[in-house]
Every structure is written in structure tokens, then in C-alpha cells.
Amino acid sequence: MKKVELLAPAGDLEKLKIAIMYGADAVYLAGEAFGMRTASKNFDEKQLKEGVEFAHKRNKKVYITLNIIPHNDDLDGLEEYVQYLVDIDVDAVIVSDPGIYSIVRSVSEDLEVHLSTQASVTNYKTVKFWEKMGIKRIVLARELSLDEIKRIKEEVPNMDLEVFVHGAMCISYSGRCLLSNYMTGRDANRGDCAQACRWKYHLVEEKRPGEYYPIEETDKGTFIYNSKDLCMIDSLDDLISSGVDSLKIEGRVKTQYYVATVIRSYRIAIDAYYNGNYTKELADYLLNEIKKSSHRDFTKGFFYNKPTAEDQLYTSSSYTRNYDFVGIVLDYDEETKIATIEQRNRIFKGDKLEVFGPEKDFYNFEIGTMINDEGKEVDVVPRAREIFKTKINFPVKPWYMLRKKL
């Protein structure tokens, strides 16, 4: 049986490495232009090459986003950029615009091309059209049900289908939004979304300027465009049986800790599904693990029913955060049981922490003696990315992460 792919976001080189170490089969990312997330750090040419080499050494894949909806000037330099992507052997590019697709094909007939969710594909006839054009994979619009996905797979069995299964939901149709551009001049369709859908809104009557009426009866205003986050960790059996080939996690501007936590959970769930061990108890455990990263309330999106008011957040756009990411393991000496850790948030002597890696279980321990990079014993490690050593009485490995309950 062909195993479904787990596709992870990579907003920078460190996130790429963490996503792969925590179980992603492939990552998607952008260079310094042509991608839909200018808010993430993204990759220069040297980092792109390093990222591809890191992934390929571990038999993982790298997909590059070229999925803006471009104006004329946005096309400048695209041919040279695509040629560079071919030269460093990326596995595929993701496009939404026929003009960009034509440029990619003028550079390479062999480079694999995926069609972005920005193209709003919602039916099998459109999938057949793009199949004839040479597209290898369709990233389906978010507005499809599982039954509609099944029908598409039945009608076009040789086309790879990719769906978003976790992360922020765009209030506009498949991400094609003009709200940010209208409000701030930042074009969401060219990668510079200001997330105006997450702002607080009141109602103003035309002849009563300055008089603001809450749309709901609350003095906090109303977040009328604000969706809950998508989460399908407890519905993977339905997703996989629908015929999809790739499960995509949203979050190129999220933290390394978020990437590790979410990818780890979906990796464990996918492997359990194919091993016959995917149970409600496991899904509930993994959902709780996901909730240890910053998150909003969750929704199933369009997979089962069209969203209702229950899938929106009308009172706040803030995240729920119950844990702090406080450190990442750089090295561990099994003989002395001394771990070398890079701090990510303040750590105090006596802190009770959890440590986890790509595996299912996590471990609890209490911080004892800490030795800073000057060889001095300290009671707190306050500086960002400060290196220190401490004893951990069970084996840990590089890339393991430390978190603290708030």
C-alpha cells in the first residue's frame, strides 16, 4: 500500500531541519520571491541548496512555492530562478498561475509541478484539464468535502491529491483574499497578507460616523472573519480512505516548536494507521500533545459539513498557549548524563520540564545544576539562545525539545 505523504511547512532552514527530523516526508518552502509567505524568513540561494541537500541525504523531498498571483513586474527574474531550482535538484515547484506555469515549462520539461490551493480546484473536470497540461499534483481547495475528494480520485486516479489537514484557515475562498490589500495595501495574493481577517470589527452606520456598534452584544467587538484552526488528527482514517496522497500542515510563520509538535503528532498517527494501531485513545493523546503548542480552537473545516457559526471565533483572535518552548538539546553524553542545551526561553533551577523527541512518549524531569558557557554554575539561564549544560538522567538526543507548563 502506498503510504500517504506528510508534508510540513519550512519557514526557514532550522524549521526545515526540525520538520524532517520530526517525521516529515517532504517540506514546502519559498525562496526570497514568488512565494505566498513574505512574513516567514524564507531562503536565499545558499540556504535553498543546503536545505535540499539536507533533505535528500535523508530521502526526503523539497517543494518550492511559486504560487503568487503575479502582476507583470512580478515575473522579472523568474526564468533564472527556476533554472537555479533545477540545478539544485528540487523535487517540485508549486504554482497557481498559468503564466508562471508556462515559464517553468519553458525552462524545464521535466521539473515536477504541483498546482496550488490558490488555483481553487474543486471538481474532477478541472483536475483532468490540469492533468493533460502536465501537472503532477493538485493541492485541492479547502472548500471540499471528503465525499467530493473521493469522487475526484475515482475520476482521475493517476493524479496526486494534496489537502490541508492542520493549521490556520483562510476566511476567503482558497486564500484568494483582497481584504488585506484594501485595508493596508499589502497584497495577500502576492505573499504579503496582513491577516485583516483576525482584526476586531464594529458596525458603523453611514450617517452616524464615530458611533460604533458591536455586531454581537459584547463590549469587546466582534471578530467576524476569524476562523478556528483546522485539525484532523482524530480523523486520519477518513482522510486516508478518501484517496488523498499528501497531508499538508499549514504554518510557515509558526515557531520551530510548533513545527516539531505538530509534525511529530501526525507522523505517529499516520504510522499507527498503517500498522493497525490508530485508535481513539491514541488520537486523543496526540490531540492533547498538539494543544501543548500555541493554537486556536479547532474545526474540521469543510471535510464533513459546510462550516457554521460553531467554526468561527467571534470573541478573540488570540492563541491559547499553555506551554513555553524553553530549550533544544544540542548534545548528550551518555556516560556522564550531561546534556548540552540551547535556551529558547528563560530556564530557572528547579523548573519542572517535559522533554520530547520524534518518538511517542515524553519525559518529566526537574532542572538541577546548570553550568553556563563560561563554566559557572547559575540559577537562571536568561539570555536568548544561551548554551548551558545540565544533568538529565535518561537518554536524550540532539533535536529533542524542552517545554514548561505555564
DSSP string, 286-352: HHHHHTTSSB--EE-TTSSS---GGGB-SS--PPB--EEEEEEEEEEETTTTEEEEEESS-EETT-E
Q: Would you call 182 helix, strand, or coil by DSSP? A: helix
| φ/ψ (deg, to 5) at 209 | -60, 140
Please give the single-letter amino acid code of residue 404: K
Return the pLDDT at 210: 78
- All domains in the chain, ordered by first residue: 5-173+226-311 (3.20.20.70), 323-405 (2.40.30.10)
The rounded average pLDDT for each run of 10 residues, N- to C-terminus, in the chain (406 residues) is: 93 96 97 65 89 98 93 92 97 96 97 95 97 97 94 98 88 62 65 67 73 56 70 96 96 92 98 97 97 90 82 66 96 97 97 97 96 96 96 96 97
CA angle 225, 10, 246 (to 5 degrees): 80
Residue 211 pLDDT:
74
Q: Which three cell numbers stand for residue 361?
A: 512518549
The pLDDT of residue 369: 97
CA distance linking residue 271 with residue 199, whole number of Å: 39
Query: How do beta strands 160-167 and 246-249 pair?
Result: parallel
Helix axes 45-57, 78-87, angle to 10 degrees: 30
Helices 256-275 & 280-290, crossing angle to 10 degrees? 170
Q: What is the pLDDT of residue 153?
A: 98
Contact status, residue 112 vs residue 95, Cβ threshold 8 Å:
no
Q: What is the pLDDT of residue 217?
A: 42
**CB contact set of 250 (below 8 Å; sequence gap of 6+):** 9, 164, 166, 167, 168, 230
For residue 202, give the C-alpha cell.
Answer: 464594529
Amino acid at 397: K
> How many other CB atoms sit within 10 Å of the CB of residue 390?
21
Rounded Cα distance between 75 and 144, Å, is: 31
- What radius of gyration do the chain's Cα atoms show? 23
Instruction: Say what the pLDDT of residue 198 is.
Output: 64
